[in-house]
A = this chain, B = another copy of it.
Amino acid sequence: MKINCDGLSLSEATLKVIKAAGSKTVNPVLEGIKLTAKNDELILFATDKELSIEKRIKAVVMEDGEAVVYGRVFCEFVKSLTNEEIELSVNENNVLKIKYSENEAEFNCFDVEDYPKQKEIEEENVIQLKGKALKNLIQKTTFCAALDDARPILKGCLFEKEKGLVRAVCLDGYRMGIAEEKAGEEGKDCKIIVPVKSLNEILKFIEEEDVDVFMVIEKNYMMINFGTATIITTLLTGEYINYRQILPAQTETKVTVKKDLFERALERANLLSRADKNNYVNFEIEEKNITVLAKSELGTVTECIPMAMDGKDLEIKFNVRFVYDAIKAIDSDYVDISLNGSINPCIIEANDIKNSLYLILPVRKFN
């Protein structure tokens, strides 16, 4: 391999693909970035076997070739060469040489044969949506996914395409987030479960909100192409929780409250309740106010927030963090909270456009 390329493009591309490289893996070659020179392009590729990212940049290719370089140091190194014209070459000892100005660096490489091949995806189905829609689906749900490995499927996000809509669902056993967006015309109805970790990387590639994004599906894989970058992620297999069954059929108490007032009160309640891991907040819903009360060894905070209410008075306790996250994720001046007594879950959603919804289980323990 022997090529010339621009330092800035190389640095930007390296920073993008490094996100898919493994760190501290049992198999060190997965900490590498694979470089492939052919057809006037340098292709950078990294994978941890769950997620893979490929990015192509323009290059003057004098000799085709491949190399797998240790990712993190290479990435930091080229970051300091953004103003340089760079020559990359690989010698017979599998050493990558970087020339810039009068200087040069050499990187010992992994054996290319040991590096996993890029999976080829055969399109079996596709979910089409706008960049902005995919962004919303990810941002409004993934914080509700499980973080621990107790039930691996809950570390994924269900994408369900049905009747012209795409619905994203995440839940961790204590709370659930659902968001909905219009689907494009291509592809048939389907359900897939995408690892949240992959979605958080995909999010960073959505630069244009109005562009069409195609989630190309083949059995246990999903691919998205963003111009010169291609992302492939494995899908989680198994049956997702039947989330519809969890949604309550009735509402005894319905509250409408100003989002910013409620959010700031929860922020302060969170500070105090967090202080001694006693992480809950009490809501007293009565007449014209919600009284937010949080207590810990350190002290108490009591805030009275005006609201509009329909139905029965109620006292109920929640994990303050879960309510705060939900309120924060809603883009609306007012939020609606639907409740059914003190031991059933509540539903939180925007007062106007109902394209996302949060369900939160109350805390039953009293103190």
Contact = CB atoms under 8 A, between A and B. Distances in A.
A90 B299 CA distance: 13
Interface residues of A, number: 29
19 contacts: A73-B271, A73-B272, A73-B298, A77-B268, A77-B272, A80-B268, A80-B271, A102-B304, A103-B265, A103-B301, A103-B302, A104-B301, A105-B268, A105-B301, A105-B302, A106-B299, A106-B301, A108-B297, A108-B299
A104 B302 contact: yes
Contacts of A106: 299-301
A70 B298 contact: yes
Nearest to A306: B102
Contacts of A105: 268, 272, 299-302
Contacts of A364: none
Interface string A24-52: 00000000000000000000000000000
A104 B265 CA distance: 11
B303 A103 contact: yes
Nearest to A76: B271
A103 B267 CA distance: 14
Contacts of A303: 102-103
A70 to B, nearest CB: 6
